[in-house]
Structure 1
Amino acid sequence: MQHTSKYTELNITDGEKVENFSFRPLDPNQDVELLYDWMHQKHIAPFWKLNLPLSELKRWVHHSAEAEHKDCYIGTFNGEPVCYLIAYSVEEDPIKEYYDDKQGDLGMHLLIGPRSYLNKEDGLSIVRAMILFLFDRYNTKRIIGEPDRRNRIVIPILKELGGEVLGRVHLPNKEAALIAGEKEAVFAKLREKNIDVTIHTSMTVPGNELV
């Protein structure tokens, strides 16, 4: 569907700490070298399996950006690009065959690019920002993730943020932990920890988005 792209800023206040995030639609031409660097990192390559030659990765990036059932984003943390995020419609994805899906479920794939941010504190902040962005952007009540079951950093973070492990699923390219994040549970965690969030969205340029 053809819609107006949106640039979103999140300010997350946790005690005296203020974290600034932003999310913008993927630019398949400008961002391919950034993704090339990230996909060849040792903490990413075994899970995404996209440590390809640049020419092949370019084709993959353009194919992803043009897909009608998903949207792709680059996220920054205090001005530095730190993550790649894919939001996809569960209704149009094979993942719906692996669990009892609900109408409006939104799927997500994510990665944290720089290895220095792959620690519990920064990782928690970045993944939390991605999830809050998706809830705001798509007005969904549940987000579905299916990280590789070997991922010992992302899975604990998703659980700490209010995610529930529905079980283990055998996908064509991996064995995954299927995790559901109910909006009410995620926001209950924010209230429990007295975390405040403000979100500002501005229009940018036309693009393909899910809603």
Structure 2
Amino acid sequence: MTSTGITLEPLDVEAHVGRLHAWVTHPGSVYWEMPEASVEEVAQEYTQMRDNPHHHAWLGRVDGEPAFLAETYDPAHSLLAGTPELREGDLGMHVLVAPTDQPVPGFTRRVFRAVMEHCFADPAVRRVVVDPDVRNDKIKVLNAQAGFEVERAITLPAKTAALSFCTREAFLASPLVRPEEGA
């Protein structure tokens, strides 16, 4: 499994707001915390993100077609600011795979691997930080496959989150990168 055919580009809010709105308000995206957002609210959220030097949104394409949204951010300038476990070299990450009526086996794992490779492409990044809702069982499994370890549960404004970290070494040794070892 490789991330061949997967690209990430800075999100063009104006060009993709309709698609983005459909993705983040889809019932399957409940943990994205925007189920009732209007197109205008989604545009505003991602315009603010675009203008924030500490937070970046990425449109992911698979074989040229828009297929996922990723966000990377400096956790010291986020809701995680002040969390004692944060270290120099940490990069926060969120990922949302576009909802589909025809799931493709292994697709989400491929996308997740590509996003992690994108995060670790910067040699200054030592760990990737995620904060999924503790009720999100699907992402728990995927995070574990990528090498994340849950540090602890933390309370954020809209959820109780599983503060989790993945080192470069853990990712490179993970079943996501080395599926034959994880079988």
Contact 2:79 2:156 in 1 (8 A): no
Distance 2:94 2:122 in 1: 15
Deviations 1:136-188 (A, max 9, x none): 04641100000111112112101011111111111111111111110011111
Q: Percent identity?
A: 25
Unaligned runs of 5+ in 1: 1-11, 196-211
Unaligned runs of 5+ in 2: none
Aligned counterpart for 1:41 among listed residues 26, 34, 39: 26
> Where does 1:135-154 land on structure 2 (aligned, <5 Å)?
135-137=120-122, 139-154=124-139
User: How many aligned positions are there?
Assistant: 179
Deviations 1:88-132 (A, max 9, x none): 012222313334111121111211112347676222111111111
Distance 2:166 2:99 in 1: 25
Task: Sort the Cα spacing of 1:192 and 1:59 in 2 relative to 1 into closer, same or farther, 3 A.
Answer: closer
Distance 2:104 2:135 in 1: 16
Q: Which amino acid aligns with 1:132?
A: E
1:66 maps onto 2:46 in alignment: no
Distance 2:24 2:177 in 1: 35
Secondary structure of the residue aligned to 2:66 is: strand
Contact 2:8 2:60 in 1 (8 A): yes
TM-fit CA distance, 1:79: 2.3
Q: TM-score, normalised by structure 2?
A: 0.87
Distance 2:109 2:137 in 1: 13
Contact 1:43 1:115 in 2 (8 A): no
Contact 1:105 1:143 in 2 (8 A): yes
Q: TM-score, normalised by structure 1?
A: 0.76
Task: Sort the Cα spacing of 1:56 and 1:155 in 2 relative to 1 into closer, same or farther, 3 A.
Answer: same
> Where does 1:120-139 land on structure 2 (aligned, <5 Å)?
121-137=106-122, 139=124
Task: Sort the Cα spacing of 1:134 and 1:42 in 2 relative to 1 into closer, same or farther, 3 A.
Answer: same
Task: Sort the Cα spacing of 1:21 and 1:111 in 2 relative to 1 into closer, same or farther, 3 A.
Answer: same
> Where does 1:183-202 land on structure 2 (aligned, <5 Å)?
183-189=168-174, 192-193=178-179
Map of 1:92 onto structure 2: 77
Higher strand share: 1
Aligned counterpart for 2:38 among listed residues 16, 36, 53: 53
